[in-house]
Chains A and B, each alone.
Chain A
Amino acid sequence: MVKQGREGNKIYISPVTRIEGHAQVTILLNDDDTVKDALFKVVDFRGFEKFTEGRPFYEMPAITSRACGICPVSHLLASAKACDAIVGINPPQTAIMLRRLMHMGQMIQSHALNFFHLSSPDLLLGMDSDPTKRNIMGIIEKDPELAMRGIKLRKFGQEIIEKVAGKKIHSADWILPGGAKWPLTKERADFLRASLPEALDSAQKTLELYKGLLGGLEEEVENFGNFPSYYMGLVSPNGGIEHYDGTLRIKDQCGNVAAECVDPTKYRDFIGEAIEPWSFMKFPYFKSMGYPGGAYRVGPLARLNVASHCGTPLADEEFKEFKKLGKNGVVQSTFHYHYARLIELLFCVENAQRLLEDPAILSEHVTSKALVNNYEGVGVAEAPRGTLIHHYKVDPQGMITWNNMIIATEHNNIAYNKAITQVAKKYVKARELQEGMLNRVEAVIRAFDPCLSCATHAVGQMPLDVQLVDSSGKLVDRKIR
């Protein structure tokens, strides 16, 4: 239940604004003004799991993908896979290839959005630079060529989605339990093929640029959410990076495989879901380690940590270099999400190329038909931000009776709180919040790339609320942006 005002040593202020993707950070202080803890609060409530009850299962891709305008394709795929399981059939090979291609488009556009539009202002202009300039407009001013490269790369990703599925955003008409509704035409495939060389060049140049910056960012690498945790992600049968199918692998901080979930429908044997009264976001944890000890991370960093290779030539070279940053091939610092994301971006462009060059992608057999054969279905896909799970139960008529969705951003929830606590302990020294400190808290959240609009680095107001609370629960200082 949402509360307003002070209660004991905690202060609830919610909802702060019209919260679609808004966050609230509360920093708790000890008696001596040092930081005790920091809480990352998501005061948003969407209710998809409840209001989809009673709807036909085949409407689920269209409904659930509305959870997100940035990564609707990942929801479409996780949902369609859950529906595939309900009808109990394997989609035609070309339908799977097209779904994968569409997903590569999604990854490219989302990763480009995070790096160029949201994170590059911090990295290129500086954490303490003028906040009025620290946005994509500032980047356009400083390096118009780089900004244009980012915008074009994102456009390429969006175009893949549009050419495959008809629309750039919320292209739910195309997907169907058991396949897809229409094939890819040669004209559309040729259009995409023509854009590949430029996209590949952009992805490589961006990675080179970022590697050049890394030398000057050692302090951030050391202090931005640099802690041990478990990592989870899908891997292909031979251990490579995987976004659509495969097995769910959990690795520990030493690089040992802690669990391998071959049948994703058994995800609940591995993942528990805790709740906290101060956040509407669930706290998933690795079951065998309990809560909160079983904190794990998902997303680009985790996918690279759990995988043994990428599987495309250019990305594999970068992958080997990246792995040297950590012990036993496990990279701990949250800051390296940026690095992992750019390697993945390169992989996705290469993988899109590989899919587009396969003549089988133009096959017209993409649809299969079936009725409800199973009363339960689980779909797992790797969204740009991490592992996404849709789990439905239906009645014999195919009406949803139960729905559980674990959104990628949720998996990192325990890790967010660890990461902002670490940043706050490093940078908050006095009873006065500095703008640069505020931005560092945001920057570590941004590195995770959560699906909250607080990470938009919006031109103008940033919807972030940082509170400084002393040990008696008194609000010492508060900055709202």
Chain B
Amino acid sequence: MSVNLLKLKIDGVEVSVPEGTMILKAAKDNGIIIPTLCNLEGLAPYGGCRLCLVEISGSPKLFPACITPVGPNMEITTNSDRLKEYRKMVVQMLLAERTHICSVCVANDHCELQAMANQLGVDHVMFERKFTQEPIDSTHDFLVIDRNRCILCTRCIRICDQIEGVHTLDLKLRGKDSEVIMDLDEHWANSCSCTSCRKCAKVCPVGAIYIEGEPIGHTKNKEIAAFIRDRRNRR
């Protein structure tokens, strides 16, 4: 099967990538890293965090790079001043939306949101912080979910559905009220579909889902989805 290669420019650099590739992947393959929190290799893209927004010449709109496929002769800008400002604002909104206190968080020093804030130079939050106080569900033998730290990236939901194949986790409600739930909004211990596979904890970018008593640096594994998918495809 022949692959149709498209020629385009990313940040002024001429590249050629296979048709159908998403901009985020095309940029990465050519050494340009676009910030993202929800995207994870091995999982279907979701376009939720809006950190990977890019500019495409000819359009006043911004496009999420993870779900926008490349087109012929596109001229893409990934790091303009406007984008930098927007990204900082997105991180601030994430930090303000719920309760994020790094110093006492299990994910301190292993948190992608924290690292992103550092990388983008977010040194304050201009929005009023909500400091939500949702009860923590630690009914499961070893998995714990603290929804106050959730950034709604849905990595856990996607890996549970697409890799583990049980779809225990899903979202309820809309917008800022959205919450990750188990089955029909059960306590985790009462979920009949959960296989306790721990994949959700491995891909959670923050400290929302974790394994009780295990150093979070041991738990996290960003490559797990791509690794399993790759092994499966070999069969």
Interface residues of A (CB under 8 A from B): 54-56, 58-59, 62-63, 66, 170, 172-173, 176-178, 181, 369, 371, 397-399
| Proximity bits, B128-143, A CB within 8 Å = 1, else 0 | 0000010111110100
The answer to whether B138 touches A397 (Cβ under 8 A) is yes
The yes or no answer to B144 lying at the interface (CB within 8 A) is yes
Tell me the count of chain B residues lying within 8 A, CB to CB, of chain A: 17
Please report the C-alpha to C-alpha distance between residue A55 and residue B149 in the assembled complex, in whole angstroms: 13
Binds A, one of B30-38, B102-110, B161-169: B102-110
The yes or no answer to B215 lying at the interface (CB within 8 A) is yes
The answer to whether B215 touches A56 (Cβ under 8 A) is no
The answer to whether A54 touches B133 (Cβ under 8 A) is yes
Given A54-B135, A398-B138, verify A63-B104 contact (CB < 8 Å). yes
The answer to whether B213 touches A177 (Cβ under 8 A) is yes
The answer to whether A59 touches B133 (Cβ under 8 A) is no
Chain B's closest residue to A170 (CB) is: B103
Please report the C-alpha to C-alpha distance between residue A306 and residue B203 in the assembled complex, in whole angstroms: 53
The answer to whether B213 touches A399 (Cβ under 8 A) is no
The answer to whether B103 touches A66 (Cβ under 8 A) is yes
Chain A's closest residue to B217 (CB) is: A173
Chain B's closest residue to A59 (CB) is: B104
Query: Which chain A residues lie closer than 8 Å to B29 at the CB level?
Result: none
The answer to whether A397 touches B139 (Cβ under 8 A) is yes
Majority SS at the chain A contact face: loop
Q: How far is the CB of B178 from chain A (nearest CB, A)?
A: 21
A399 partner, pick from B104, B106, B109, B136, beta carbons under 8 A: B136
Please report the C-alpha to C-alpha distance between residue A124 and residue B133 in the assembled complex, in whole angstroms: 52
B213 partner, pick from A55, A62, A66, A176, beta carbons under 8 A: A176
Given A59-B106, A66-B104, A170-B103, verify A399-B215 contact (CB < 8 Å). no
Query: Which chain B residues lie closer than 8 Å to A399 at the CB level?
Result: 135-136, 138
The yes or no answer to B14 lying at the interface (CB within 8 A) is no
Query: Which chain A residues lie closer than 8 Å to B137 at the CB level?
Result: 397
Q: Total number of A-B contacts with CB less than 8 angstroms? A: 39
Query: Which chain A residues lie closer than 8 Å to B135 at the CB level?
Result: 54, 399
Beyond A66-B103, A173-B215, 18 extra complex contacts between A and B, CB < 8 Å = A54-B135, A56-B136, A56-B138, A58-B213, A59-B106, A62-B104, A170-B103, A173-B108, A173-B109, A176-B213, A177-B213, A178-B213, A371-B212, A397-B137, A397-B138, A397-B139, A399-B135, A399-B136
Q: Please provide the chain B residues from 213 to 234 with a CB less than 8 Å away from any CB of chain A in the complex.
A: 213, 215
Query: Which chain A residues lie closer than 8 Å to B144 at the CB level?
Result: 56
Please report the C-alpha to C-alpha distance between residue A128 and residue B129 in the assembled complex, in whole angstroms: 49
Interface pairs (6), CB distance under 8 Å: A54-B136, A55-B136, A170-B103, A173-B109, A397-B139, A399-B136
Query: Which chain B residues lie closer than 8 Å to A371 at the CB level?
Result: 141, 212
Chain A's closest residue to B212 (CB) is: A58
Q: Please provide the chain B residues from 131 to 182 with a CB less than 8 Å away from any CB of chain A in the complex.
A: 133, 135-139, 141, 144, 146
Please report the C-alpha to C-alpha distance between residue A397 and residue B141 in the assembled complex, in whole angstroms: 10
The answer to whether B136 touches A369 (Cβ under 8 A) is no
Q: How far is the CB of A24 from chain B (nearest CB, A)?
A: 29
Please report the C-alpha to C-alpha distance between residue A173 and residue B133 in the assembled complex, in whole angstroms: 23
Q: How far is the CB of B189 from chain A (nearest CB, A)?
A: 9
Q: Please provide the chain B residues from 82 to 115 with a CB less than 8 Å away from any CB of chain A in the complex.
A: 103-104, 106, 108-109
Query: Which chain A residues lie closer than 8 Å to B133 at the CB level?
Result: 54
The answer to whether A181 touches B215 (Cβ under 8 A) is yes
Query: Which chain B residues lie closer than 8 Å to A178 at the CB level?
Result: 213
Q: How far is the CB of B188 from chain A (nearest CB, A)?
A: 10
Q: How far is the CB of B207 from chain A (nearest CB, A)?
A: 10
Please report the C-alpha to C-alpha distance between residue A399 and residue B137 in the assembled complex, in whole angstroms: 9
Query: Which chain A residues lie closer than 8 Å to B109 at the CB level?
Result: 173
Chain A's closest residue to B216 (CB) is: A173
Please report the C-alpha to C-alpha distance between residue A45 and residue B178 in the assembled complex, in whole angstroms: 34
Query: Which chain B residues lie closer than 8 Å to A62 at the CB level?
Result: 103-104
Chain A's closest residue to B213 (CB) is: A369
Query: Which chain A residues lie closer than 8 Å to B108 at the CB level?
Result: 173
